[in-house]
Structure 1
């Protein structure tokens, strides 16, 4: 799999460099000396564009190759990692066990929580039945 990704990445870089070179070499429609003085501007603007030459066709093919390589790299980048390739796989992540199981009354807003067990973190009591934590109803 690693060889495939390296090959696709190399093809993508080569096609990008090829496109850059071909685009810089191509002759623009308005690059004539006469276009600077207005003699050829209207003909190239309103006239037929003509058939594509070798450079423009090669640029289009390289653009298609670049696009396909980009899609392939995006697909392989989102693929699930295989077993053994995760950095966090060896890490042991455990949550601390709660000191006591919370009763149903402690989860209701406006009631007081039970007293904390010794050695546990002190939890402030919930506000008295003031209605501050209740959801308004229609």
Structure 2
């Protein structure tokens, strides 16, 4: 239940960060404001929107990082639970299994043997 809540918050913060980053002006956009682009007529004033959006983006980013750490913790706990249910460790399983015989150790029937020298065309040598 708690993991689902953290996932939902994480996704909302990710979407919010994308939207806020796209809403903000680049550093080169300030040059247009000095020539009367109307930046002083915004809701937050000429500088208010930049500081408000920057601070809000920082808060969303901090929450995003915290939820990322929470999701990493949940993943670790889930892997520990799976380890304790009695499933063998893959590395140990690999050592316990006997080595499979190589293809050269298995006798091949006449139909499976590779073609002889007369059946396979030979590529001409390049000089």
Q: TM-score, normalised by structure 2?
A: 0.48
Task: Select the structure of larger CA radius of gyration.
Answer: 1
- Please identify which structure carries the higher helix content: 2
Q: TM-score, normalised by structure 1?
A: 0.45
- Which one has more relative contact order, counting CA pairs under 8 Å at least 6 apart? 2
